[in-house]
Structure 1
Amino acid sequence: MKQLKKVAGVVFSSPVYAFSVLFLIVLVVLSLAAPWFSLDPNATNVRNMSQPPSFAHWFGTDEVGRDYFIRVVYGGRVSLLVGLLAMLTATSIGTVVGLVSGYFGGWVDNVLMRILDVLSAIPWLVLVIVLSVFLKPGLTTIIIVIGCFSWMSIARLIRGETLSAKEREYVLYAQFIGQPTRKILFKHIFPAVLPTLIVAASASISGAIMTESALSFLGMGIQQPMASWGSLLQNAQSSLQRAPYMAILPGLFVVFTVYSFNNLGDLIKAILQREGE
């Protein structure tokens, strides 16, 4: 109970933190509750094409009469799913590479860091275009591409934390008494780097959502009839003059979601600092 009060105190100490947490809660609830809405995101009605927002259709309708509110909600489900799964993939790879590189050092560190430098130097758009030749565009592909090629910054952070953690007395003692390397890495060093990892992971979600939106906007991400915020923005290009809300609404959701996840990382950092006091 005391811990919850501390967390709540940090959250509501700033209107920015409070807004970000409440927005993400509402977004997650809407995404989870989407299947229980009576509206079908793919149901067309030619009599209601490009209708502006109203009581009947809160976000209006698109160019074929589909309810835009439910399209945005289902688009949020896809964008959040991509963000979370890509984050888990990138975090897993980055953590393993960072721990191994920082702990062993020497030629292992040199080889891994040179591989990381090469991957970091390749523009992600060029990489995606090349991969799109071999992989069919879609949800699985976009998660693989983002997750497998966005772990480099996390690896650098974890490597730096590992270099510091392995010099601590309890780690040196564990090495002295002959504990297995795997046990040292995951029992002693990993808990020390976990706060940094949590903050980096929350920031990587927003980066993955932005990347997915950009790729879908360029037509190399989520494909019809499935919708994401990026694909909705891409589809809205042809309707900007007669139905600007089709671009504004998903665009606002992307902006507020990325903003909220970035603030969530700062919030987690503030909570961890409060715990350390």
Structure 2
Amino acid sequence: MIKIKKIGQVIFSSPVYTFSVIFLIVLIILSLIAPLLPLDPNATDVSNMSQPPSLAHWFGTDEVGRDYFIRVLYGGRVSLLVGVLAMLTATTIGTLVGLTAGYFGGLIDSILMRLLDVLSAIPWLVLVIVLSVFLKPGLTTIIIIIGCFSWMGIARLIRGETLAAKERDYVIYAKFIGIPPFKIIVRHILPSVLPTLIVAASASISGAIMTESALSFLGMGIQQPMASWGSLLQNAQSSLQRAPYMAILPGLFVVFTVYSFNNLGDLIKSILQREV
């Protein structure tokens, strides 16, 4: 109960934190209940093409008469799904690489860090274009690409934390009495790096959403009829003059979502610091 009270104090201590938490909660709830709404995101109505926002259509309609509000909600479902799954993939790979390199050091550390340097040096857009030749664009492909090629920053952070954690007395004693490395890493090292990992993971969600939006905007991400915020922006290019809301609305959702997830990382950091 005390911890919940402290968390509440931190959240409401800043309007930025309050807005970010409320926005994310509302967005996630709306995304989850979208299939329950009596609206079909793919239902066309040629008599209501490119209608501005109104009481009948809160966000207006697109170029073929589809309700844009439900399209944006379904786009949010896809963008959030990509962000979370890509984050889990990147966090898992980055944590494994960072823990292994930091704990064992030596040749293993050198090999893993050189691999990390090589991958970090490759422009992601070039990498995606090359991979798109071999992989069919879609939800699974975009998650794999973002998750498997965005773990380098997390690996560096975890490696640094591991280098510091393995020099602590209880870790040195565990090594001395012959506890296997795997148990030491799981029982002692991982709990030490967990606060940093949580903050990095929350920030990586916003990065994944931005990357997905950019790739879908370029036509190399989510494909029709499935919608994401990036694909909605890409589709809105041809309607900017007659229906600017088609670009403004998903663009605002991308901006506010990325902003909120970045603030969420700072919020988690503040809560963890108070616990310490």
Question: TM-score per shorter chain, which class?
Answer: over 0.9
Other-structure match for 2:138: 138
Matches of 1:85 and 1:187, distance apart in 2: 26
Matches of 1:47 and 1:181, distance apart in 2: 67
| SS of residue in 2 equivalent to 1:54 | coil
**In the TM superposition, what is the alpha-carbon distance from 1:74 to its structure 2 partner?**
0.1
| SS of residue in 1 equivalent to 2:54 | coil
- Scaled by the length of structure 1, the TM-score of the pair is 0.99
**In the TM superposition, what is the alpha-carbon distance from 1:207 to its structure 2 partner?**
0.1
Other-structure match for 1:210: 210
What is the aligned residue count? Answer: 276
Other-structure match for 1:232: 232
Matches of 1:40 and 1:124, distance apart in 2: 35
Other-structure match for 2:166: 166
Letter of the structure 1 residue corresponding to residue 193 of structure 2 = V
| SS of residue in 2 equivalent to 1:157 | helix
Other-structure match for 2:221: 221
**In the TM superposition, what is the alpha-carbon distance from 1:190 to its structure 2 partner?**
0.2
Other-structure match for 1:27: 27
Letter of the structure 2 residue corresponding to residue 153 of structure 1 = G
Other-structure match for 1:185: 185
Matches of 1:21 and 1:35, distance apart in 2: 23
- Give every structure 1 segment of 4 or more consecutive aligned residues whose post-TM-superposition deviation is greater than 4 Å: none
**In the TM superposition, what is the alpha-carbon distance from 1:26 to its structure 2 partner?**
0.2
| SS of residue in 1 equivalent to 2:261 | helix
Other-structure match for 2:100: 100
Matches of 1:125 and 1:162, distance apart in 2: 31
Letter of the structure 2 residue corresponding to residue 271 of structure 1 = I
**In the TM superposition, what is the alpha-carbon distance from 1:18 to its structure 2 partner?**
0.2
Matches of 1:184 and 1:229, distance apart in 2: 43
Matches of 1:91 and 1:270, distance apart in 2: 21
Letter of the structure 2 residue corresponding to residue 208 of structure 1 = A
The sequence identity of aligned pairs, in percent, is 84
RMSD: 0.3
Matches of 2:160 and 2:216, distance apart in 1: 34
Task: List alignment gaps of at least 5 residues for structure 1.
Answer: none
| SS of residue in 2 equivalent to 1:41 | coil
CA displacement, residues 7-38 of structure 1 (integer Å, 9 cap, x when unaligned): 00000000000000000000000000011000
Matches of 2:187 and 2:49, distance apart in 1: 59
Other-structure match for 1:264: 264
| SS of residue in 2 equivalent to 1:52 | coil
Matches of 1:195 and 1:3, distance apart in 2: 16
**In the TM superposition, what is the alpha-carbon distance from 1:218 to its structure 2 partner?**
0.0
Correspondence 1:144-155 to 2 at 5 A:
144-155=144-155
**In the TM superposition, what is the alpha-carbon distance from 1:126 to its structure 2 partner?**
0.2
Other-structure match for 2:2: 2
Matches of 1:86 and 1:251, distance apart in 2: 21
Correspondence 1:105-116 to 2 at 5 A:
105-116=105-116
**In the TM superposition, what is the alpha-carbon distance from 1:261 to its structure 2 partner?**
0.1
Correspondence 1:122-137 to 2 at 5 A:
122-137=122-137
Correspondence 1:55-74 to 2 at 5 A:
55-74=55-74
| SS of residue in 1 equivalent to 2:224 | coil
**In the TM superposition, what is the alpha-carbon distance from 1:270 to its structure 2 partner?**
0.1
**In the TM superposition, what is the alpha-carbon distance from 1:155 to its structure 2 partner?**
0.1
Q: Are 2:245 and 1:249 aligned?
A: no
Matches of 1:260 and 1:133, distance apart in 2: 34
Matches of 1:268 and 1:84, distance apart in 2: 17
CA displacement, residues 158-186 of structure 1 (integer Å, 9 cap, x when unaligned): 00000000000110011011001100011
Q: Are 2:53 and 1:53 aligned?
A: yes
Other-structure match for 2:85: 85
Matches of 1:185 and 1:134, distance apart in 2: 37
| SS of residue in 2 equivalent to 1:219 | coil
Matches of 1:192 and 1:3, distance apart in 2: 20
CA displacement, residues 54-104 of structure 1 (integer Å, 9 cap, x when unaligned): 000000000000000000000000000000000000000000000000000
Letter of the structure 2 residue corresponding to residue 152 of structure 1 = M
Task: List alignment gaps of at least 5 residues for structure 2.
Answer: none
Matches of 2:166 and 2:205, distance apart in 1: 28
Matches of 1:22 and 1:179, distance apart in 2: 45
